Amino acid sequence: MNRFPHTPLLAAAALFLSGCAGYELGDAKPSAYAGINNLHVPTFKNETLEPRLSSLVTNAVVRELQADGTYRISNHANADAVLVGQITQIQKTQLRAARTDTLESQELRMLLYVRFHLEDPVTGEAIRSALPEQAEQDSFNDRGIEEKPIYASQGQVVGTTIQFVDPNFQVGERNALSIAAQDAATKMVGILANGW
């Protein structure tokens, strides 16, 4: 009689769980942000004609940063960096038209473009992750194509969603903007927290 009948199952579970040994919980931010723990998030600038969009996007970003936990939200005086954002464009394209009239939209695809970068709270200069010598000189790879340095602390995200036109256009648009803002915030925090 086998005194340890579950030994093969325990061995298989141990082998399966050892594959997660390299996974790290907690602070796994990019090396460019190693010294940044506290972020100040002022209201994003709204360059579109949509009213109240700046508070909608800024609140979504703050909620996402708090949920992620990589950075703490703080005031300007205690911040290691300032997250500056601009809502640059809202773009809509038709996904589905009415059966009887192709010019009457039933569903729209909404794209919300948000640019962002990190600034030093004292000097107001953009925080760049590229090495200074890389930023000053032009470098060419072996194919002769110019390679620009990558600045991980700035970028653009695009929040996407689908807007249903019926029965009330304004309510549908407001709901779609909220979902697109949340999608953009999730992508932005992913870049800031993970580097991708």
Q: How far is CA 126 from CA 77, 115, 155, 187, in A?
A: 17, 13, 12, 20
Mean pLDDT of 89-94: 92
Name the CATH superfamily, with its identifier, for domain 29-129+152-194. Lipoprotein like domain (3.30.160.150)
Domain ranges for the chain:
29-129+152-194
Tell me the pTM. 0.71
Which alpha helices (H) appear in the chain, and where do they start and end?
7-18, 53-68, 132-136, 169-194
Beta strand 146-147 pairing with 139-140: antiparallel
Q: pLDDT by residue (tens digit) across 155-175? A: 899 999 998 887 777 788 889
* Angle subtended at Cα 17 by Cα 13 and Cα 23, rounded to the nearest 5 degrees: 175
